[in-house]
Amino acid sequence: MKLLALDTSTEACSVALQQDSEVFSEFALTPREHTKLILPMLERVLAQAETSLAEVDALVVGLGPGAFTGIRIGIGVAQGIAMAMDKPIIPVSTLAALAQQAYQHCGATQVLAALDARMGEVYWGQYVLVNGLMQLQAEELVCKPQDAPIPAGKHWFAVGHGWSAYTAVLTARFGSILRETNADWLPAAEFMLPLAQADWLAGKAVTPELSQPIYLRNKIALTTQERAAQTKL
């Protein structure tokens, strides 16, 4: 099995290839340079693995949540390659990738993933380990840090730059149930691979045109439109 993953949803740009039991990857903090660097990174990772796009079984892409432009870049690149090479796509949440990283690096089994959504809000997801993979509990959402839902139990691992952007508020709200915090990590393609492999084996790969971004603010935009329509009545 060969899965080629890429993510440009945040300040980081990353690529990873799973080739049977081996993983080849690149990761770089490259604000506003994703379009320039993503294709060379893909080429280098393929070269490291001594393989080609033609031999890849599926593309894996981070669908967000994250930066609007970054998400569109990643999906556009993945869709372009997938359509040109007649390959399916396996979409993966960036919050799920953060949670998976917390498990693989630190052995975390309960994770509160938060990314800075700007405008005084965070992208939020609560994950629990099931058979070596992080599984979403409830739903991912965008909310003010003081409104983030408090889970049951203790020993939660906090991850993502939402925790550094709103340290005081989140620590006051969740400090008593946290085991550890790592606010430096950003989503990385490498940690999308285990989640994507499970979806591949479960037959959840999709055609390129069905890969749609996760913005989480769609409902807010819809509400604004609804209010505007009501104003005109």
> Tokens 């058979």, residue?
131
Tens digit of pLDDT for each residue in 11-38? 999 999 999 999 999 999 988 899 999 9
Q: Look up residue 18 and give its DSSP letter.
A: E
**Rg of the Cα atoms in the chain:** 18
Over pLDDT 90: what percentage of the chain? 88
Q: 232 lies in a domain? A: no
Indicate whether 137 belongs to any domain.
yes
Q: How confident is the prediction for the chain on average, in pLDDT?
A: 92
Strand boundaries in the chain, DSSP class E: 2-7, 12-19, 22-29, 58-62, 89-92, 110-118, 121-130, 133-143, 156-159, 178-182
Please check whether residues 78 and 192 belong to one and the same domain. yes
Domain membership flag for residue 48? yes
Mean pLDDT of 71-79: 96
**Could you give the CA distance from residue 110 to residue 129 in angstroms, rounded to a whole number?**
6
Which CATH number characterizes residue 199's domain?
3.30.420.40
Model pTM score? 0.90
- The residue among 208, 219, 169 whose CA lies nearest residue 75 is 208
113: its two tokens = 């993933």
Could you give the percent of the chain with pLDDT greater than 70? 93
Give per-residue pLDDT as tens, 37-71: 999 999 999 999 999 999 999 999 999 999 999 99
Instruction: Indicate whether 176 and 201 sit together in one domain.
Output: no
The residue with greater pLDDT, 141 or 213, is 141
Range of the domain at 146: 94-182
pLDDT of the residue at 144: 97
Q: Report the half-sphere exposure of 47 (CA within 13 A, side-chain side).
A: 7
17 within a domain of the structure (yes/no) = yes
Using pLDDT thresholds of 50, 70 and 90, give the confidence band for residue 225: very low
Please check whether residues 75 and 103 belong to one and the same domain: no
User: For position 116, what pLDDT does the model report?
Assistant: 97
Count structural domains, the chain: 2
pLDDT value of position 224? 33
> What value does the mean pLDDT take over residues 82-103?
97
pLDDT tens-digit map of 115-163: 999 999 999 999 999 999 999 999 999 999 999 999 999 999 999 999 9
pLDDT band, residue 216 (cuts 50/70/90)? confident
Confidence of residue 218 (pLDDT cuts 50, 70, 90): low
Residue 85 and residue 128 in one domain: no
User: Stretch 183-191: mean pLDDT, rounded?
Assistant: 97
User: 104 and 178 share a domain?
Assistant: yes
